[in-house]
Structures are given as C-alpha cells and as structure tokens.
Amino acid sequence: MNAALLDRLRTELDDRRATTGLRRDLVVSGAQGPTLGVDGERLVNLASNDYLGLAGDPEVLGTARRALRDMGLGVTAGRVLCGTRAIHGELEAAVAELVGAEDAVLHTSCFDANLGLFDALLGPQDVVLSDALNHASLIDGIRLARAGRRVFAHADLDELDRLLAEHAGARHRLIVTDGVFSMDGDLAALPRLCELAERHDAVLVVDDSHATGVLGATGAGTAEHFGLAGRVDVLTGTLGKALGAGSGGFVAGPRAVVETLRQRSRPYIFTNAMAPALAAAALAAIRIARERPELRERLTANADWLRGALRDLGYEVPPGEHPIIPVMLRGGTRAADVAAALRREGVLVFALSHPVVPAGEERIRVQVSASHTPGQLEQAAAAFGRARSVLVDS
C-alpha cells in the first residue's frame, strides 16, 4: 500500500483523535426495542427511530420469518436482472397507497433513493433549491446531478422565493426539503412550500423519512399532517424507521417519475435488490401502521409526556410535535456530560455537537417510541433529573 497515503491518513486520524476524538460505534446486543442490551446492561432506548415500536412486533417478525423460509435470504442480483420478486411490486403498491402517490419504486435504502433521484431526473438546464439542513443523502444526491444547485438558509422561505424568481429561466426548478428535520424534529413549513412551488411552477420534493407512518391520521406523512395530501410532487422515505425498522427506501410520485427512476436511477439499477424477507416485513408494517392509528396516538402521548417532564425539570426543550425531542445543552461538553450521566443511570441517548450541529447548538436528541412503557419514560425522566447535577451552572 502506498506509504504516502497511509502516512496522510494516520496524521489526519491523529489530529482528529486529539481534537474531536474518534467516533466509536456502540455495540448493541439482542433485538431492537424500547430497551437495548449494551455491555451486559439493559438501557432505556431513547436513541433510535422505531417510532411505532414495530421492530419487535410479532406480526412483522413472523411475516419476515415466513418470507425467509419461503424465499431465502437474498436474491444475489439487481432488480433489473433476476432480483425482482412479486413481493417487491406488492410493497411498491402499498407504499404508493400509503403516501397517496400514483406509483413508487423501492431502493435498498433511502440514502440510495436520494442518491439516484436528482441525477436521473435533471440536467444542466435545471436547478435544485435545497434547504441548508437537508439530510446528507439529499446533499450528496444533489451533488451527483449535473443540475445547478442553490442552498437556502434553513426554513428561510423568503430566500427560497427570491431564488425561485432568480432562476425563472431554468428548465425545471426542484425545491428539496426534509419533511421532518432529524436534528430538531422540526417540520418543514409545507403549506408555504406548496404555495411557492405552485406559484413558481416548481417541483416539490420531500424526504419524509421521519414522517412516513408517524405523521398524519393514516401515517401518510407530513403532507397529510398539514392537510396537503396530493400537493407534494415527489416523496422519498425509508423503511428502516417507523415502517418495520428493517431497511429499504423508496421514491413515490407520478408514474413518469417512478418509471424514469426504474430506467435511470443508478442505485436502483446497479445494486442487489432488497432482501424479500425485508420487503415482506415492511409490507406487514405498512398494513399495521394504517390499521392501528392508536400506535400514533400512543407515540404522540409518550412524546408529549416526556417533553413536558423534561421542561418541568428545567431543561430547554423547544416547542415541537414530533417524537424527536431536542434537549438543548449549549456550550462546551454539557450535552456529552449529561449523556454520559444518563448512560450511568441506564438510559441511552446521544449528544450531538459540532460538526453535526453548529457550535453553540449542542444538544441531546431524545427519540420516543410508541413501545415505551410509562415506567420506562418515568425512569428516563428521573435519570434526566439526577443528571442535572453534572451541569455546574444549573
């Protein structure tokens, strides 16, 4: 191996170790659920995206087991060769129906769906207008496209309005936003985004990874939450969070968009198809998400309860309506110190600091699930109460 490259990498790693420290993956044992096994302990899990608690649902798991028995593990081929099974088409139809789109196409993750989307649809005559806090996969997907790109400050729709006017001569203008932003749990201002897209005759693309199954009366996502069903042009989302917690992603929208992606999305064409058992599990999860609105009601009640409890303890918790609850602990290592104290108390959360969030905006991100019991939430709140003792200025 080339010595210069290895030397450079070692130097960069040493710098990183000395400054931000190296990221180390936490090794979890056992199944995903409202508690997680870590280092021989059971921790209350406030750190994952299993919003509806379907990761441990017996029907979802039973369906996956039967599919595994009947169809085997993987397909060892892409969708465009011999990797397509009937279950992929059934799942695509179910996704389209859930989000109210004409059609949908699966990818092996939402990251892949977002990577393939813009390059497949756009050319140099087009321009993408992207919220500054969009997910990394949207940022990378937009970079891969040959279209122009402009980033507007997070949620600054006046700036977006100006950019749309500035690029009135483009062949197509695509507005791209997360439906729910994952660091703060704040929702995109969809009513105004729809109005701007329609007034400027632009295309609205929403990544609803944290909203599909979670928001709206039937779990259709952010648009349904705002009473705007049918007004988002193209929707991307994941099957790895609320919808069964397996893995997979999708793009849903008009048939011509979906068919173009089947022809041109490189991460659709040049990778193995989603494992059939994962597709079967997601199909079961979508059915449950639609048939059991009480899961969303419990999720909202759990999130509201914990949000209130954390505020009562004196933590800064911005207003919100999503089960992502940011607990602001600005400056220095306050967020990391509280996260470490919570871990000692048997509660798993992660502290977010620069560069994931801007310096001075450090926080702990709490994520609630419908599967958390009142006892687990009370345990978490009590631990947050005791963890305040590590904050020297509180």
Ligand X SMILES: Cc1ncc(COP(=O)(O)O)c(C=O)c1O
Nearer to ligand X, 178 or 224 (CB): 178
Binding site for ligand X (CB under 6 A): 109-111, 135, 137, 178, 182, 207, 209-210, 238, 240, 249
CA proximity to 349, closest of 358, 360, 338, 357 = 338
Q: What is the DSSP string of 358-394?
A: -TT--EEEEE--TT--HHHHHHHHHHHHHHGGG-TT-
Amino acid at 84: T
At residue 161, the 3 state secondary structure works out as: helix
Shortest Å distance, C-beta 249 to ligand X: 4
Exactly one of 241, 247, 322, 371 is catalytic; name it: 241
DSSP letters spanning 267-285 = HHHSSBPPPHHHHHHHHHH
Amino acid at 196: L
Shortest Cβ 87–ligand X spacing (Å):
18
Query: Among this protein's residues, is 210 annotated catalytic?
Result: yes
Shortest Cβ 240–ligand X spacing (Å): 4
Active site residue 241: yes
225 is annotated as an active-site residue: no
Give the up-direction half-sphere exposure of residue 158: CA atoms within 13 A in the CB hemisphere.
0
Quick count: other Cβ atoms within 10 Å of Cβ 201?
A: 10
Question: Closest approach of Cβ 41 to ligand X, in Å?
Answer: 26
Q: Which amino acid is located at 307 in the chain?
A: R
* Cα 289 to Cα 275: distance, rounded to the nearest angstrom: 21
Active-site residue among 107, 135, 210, 322?
210
List 48, 130, 182, 247, catalytic entry: 182
Q: Which is nearer to ligand X, 109 or 367 (CB)?
A: 109
Residue 209 CB, shortest distance to ligand X, in Å, is: 4
Nearer to ligand X, 57 or 207 (CB): 207
For β-strands 148-152 and 127-131, DSSP reports them as parallel
Nearer to ligand X among residue 52 and residue 110 (C-beta): 110
- Cis peptide leading into 267, omega within 30 of 0? no
Cβ proximity to ligand X: between 238 and 367 the closer is 238
Enzyme catalytic residues? 182, 210, 241
